[in-house]
Structure formats: C-alpha cells, structure tokens
Amino acid sequence: MNRPPLLASALLALASLSAPAADGADQNPIDADRAFGYLEQLCDLGPRPSGSDAMARQQDLLRGHFGPLADDVVSQGFLAANPLGGPKVRITNLIVRFNPAAEKRLMVCAHYDTRPLPDRDPNPRARRSGRFIGANDGASGTALLMELAHHHDAFAGPLGVDLVLFDGEELVYNDRRDPYFLGSTGFAQQYKQGKHPGGEYQYAVLLDMVGDADLQLYYEVNSWRWKDTRPLVRSLWETAARLGVDEFKPRLKHLVRDDHTKLHSIGKIPACDIIDFDYPHWHTEADVPRNCSGESLAKVGWVVLEWLRLEQAKAAEPAGE
C-alpha cells in the first residue's frame, strides 16, 4: 500500500489543520452515501446478536471489507456464558490494523453486535419477541469504521491506528442479571496482560449511536471527568468547531456506561465516547435505517479523520518544537 512519507505528510496535515475550514461540508472527504450504504448492508443481515448466524455472516462481510484496505485484520476470540443457559457463546472482536509495526497507537472503535430484543419498545409483545435491527445502536459505528478505512491517508504518520470492533457489548436479556461489555472487557484484559497484537494506545475514541438523523453530540460525563481523557475530548470537540460541525455541543449532558469504561478502568487507556444518547428509537423496533442519516455519519467521520491527522502531525514534530 502506497503512503506518503510519514514526516512530510504529517507536517502538511498540521499546517492544514491550523486554518479554519472553508465552505463547510463541501470540504468533507467522507462519502455520506457510501457510509449509509454500509449501514443498510449491515441492517439487511437482520438482528446480529453475539453468537448468531447473522453475526457470523457479518464477521465474514467485515473481514472481506477490511482485508484489502488494511495492513492486517486480527480476530480476538473467547467464550462467554450464555445468558439463556446452554453452550457458551463465542465472542469475537475484530482488530483492523494500519502501520502495525508502530509501538505508539491510536484506536477508533465501535460495537458491532445488536441487543437480542428491543427491550424498550412501547409494544410489550415486541419487548418479548420483536426484531431489533440496531441501525443506530450497532450498525452506525460499524458502518463509519468501514468508511474510515477508505481514508488511510489520514492514518499516515508515526502512530499506528487500529479500528476495533467489539462483540458482546449488549448480550443482555435481563439488565439485573446479564453483564454488558463482554468484548471490550476481554480486549482490555488481554491488553493489560500483554496478549494484544502489539503497541501501546495513546487514546481510544468510541463511536456509538452516531447515525441519528437529528444528531446532537455532547460531552459524555465519564469521558470529561477522567483527567487523562479530558484533553482528548477537548481536541475532538475543538476540531468539530474548527470544521463548523456544530452538532458537537461542548457541554456535559449524559453519563453513559459504554465500552470506553472498560478500556479505561481495566486497560488504563484514555478513552472517550462519542454518542448521541438523545435517540428516541433506542432499543426499539424503530431503530432502522430510515431514522438514521448518511450526513450524520459523514460529519462524525470528518471530525475523527481530522483529529487523527492532527495527532499524527503532533507526533511527527521534531523534539523541542
């Protein structure tokens, strides 16, 4: 894969980032239609809970997608208890690696499983036996990682970049009984034990529910409260302001338990959550593509891409400058 020389491309990126964006969305390199097409493709598989046939088909689709675009795609698997009893469930994280030799790394991640049932649907029957497609809660972050992989020029620099897909985020039938975040917990444990494919993460950015057609992204309280993560939050929201992406609101609103909490508490990785928790279709049968937007995906993707360029540029600056 051809990439520009690391130092030169990173310094050029830093120069471009110092000036405000012109013409707003006209400068956005993210393909909104393609990203939304990925979201629809994932939803066409149907519900994709951990251990299901649809999850296996999704894994094949994602390996086929990322394989030609990345330097390496690593599967990280382990077994988890089945909340319904019976055989254990295979949990499989996918780690899509760029510049795998780099010791210092950045992570952009999402969960790609869907909740087994639409447990917050207004229809009691749907809560017990309905179909949860997870267009926003599951497919949106995954689709955006699929789109970001086309823009590996933003990954060029001294830092390695991993796009990580977590399985088992919500293999949950009963909130009081079943544990959340199985994939990120296993990932963080293996990272802590040195069983990770390699490298040390400087930051991790979690993308969850980023496809809402009425997008509003506030500081997540944990992400802001943790002192090691606060500079990351500032950098992302300042990047959004510079680009004119005003869907990023620089104030606190929601306290969210999500995969980033396990990366931080177990793996000691500074990790923040970009999440739109004002989504009326959360965990209902109405979480379908028509309530999501390619434009929302593109705006979030643009901010993440420009943040990656900035981090690469800063890492490439000669010592003392």
Contact of 108 with 304, CB cutoff 8 Å: yes
The identity of residue 5, as a single letter, is P
Dmax (CA) of the chain: 63
Judged on CB neighbours under 10 Å (0-12, 13-18, 19+), 197 is: middle
Q: Is the dihedral of CA 300, 276, 37, 109 positive or negative?
A: positive
CA distance 305 to 239: 10
Choice between 26 and 234, residue whose per-residue pLDDT is larger: 234
- Structure tokens belonging to residue 312: 């690469």
All domains in the chain, ordered by first residue: 6-316 (3.40.630.10)
Q: Which of 93, 53, 92, 89 is nearest to 171 (CA)?
A: 89
Residue 15's pLDDT band (cuts 50, 70, 90):
very low
CA distance 278 to 293: 15
- State yes or no: pLDDT of 320 exceeds 80: no
Note the pLDDT of residue 317.
Answer: 86
Note the pLDDT of residue 93.
Answer: 98
Average pLDDT in the chain:
93
CA distance 169 to 220: 18
Contact of 133 with 287, CB cutoff 8 Å: yes
C-alpha angle with apex 147: 144 to 153, nearest 5 degrees? 120
Q: What would the mean pLDDT of 125-144 be, rounded to a whole number?
A: 98
| Segment 44-53, tens digit of pLDDT | 999 999 999 9
- State yes or no: pLDDT of 7 exceeds 70: no
- State yes or no: pLDDT of 8 exceeds 60: no
Q: What would the mean pLDDT of 254-262 be, rounded to a whole number?
A: 97
Helices (H), the chain: 6-17, 32-43, 53-66, 124-129, 141-148, 182-192, 221-225, 230-243, 259-265, 294-316
Note the pLDDT of residue 12.
Answer: 39
Note the pLDDT of residue 276.
Answer: 98
- Structure tokens belonging to residue 9: 């491309």
CA distance 77 to 244: 40
| Segment 86-124, tens digit of pLDDT | 999 999 999 999 999 999 999 999 999 999 999 999 999
Note the pLDDT of residue 318.
Answer: 81
CA distance 107 to 50: 22
Beta strand 160-166 with 104-111 is parallel
- State yes or no: pLDDT of 5 exceeds 90: no
CA distance 128 to 49: 15
Q: What would the mean pLDDT of 220-241 be, rounded to a whole number?
A: 98
Q: Which of 76, 249, 228, 73 is nearest to 145 (CA)?
A: 73
**N-to-C CA span, the chain:** 30
- Given phi > 0 = left and psi -120 to 50 = alpha, else beta, which region is 157? left
| Segment 144-167, tens digit of pLDDT | 999 999 998 999 999 999 999 999
Q: Which of 301, 319, 318, 315 is nearest to 148 (CA)?
A: 301
Measured in whole angstroms, the distance separating CA 289 from the mean position of its chain's CA atoms is 18
Q: Which residues have a Cβ under 8 Å from the Cβ of 154 and sit 6 or more positions away?
A: 13, 148, 305, 306, 308, 309, 312
Residue 321's pLDDT band (cuts 50, 70, 90):
low
- State yes or no: pLDDT of 54 exceeds 70: yes
Contact of 267 with 201, CB cutoff 8 Å: yes
Beta strand 271-275 with 89-98 is unpaired
Note the pLDDT of residue 19.
Answer: 44
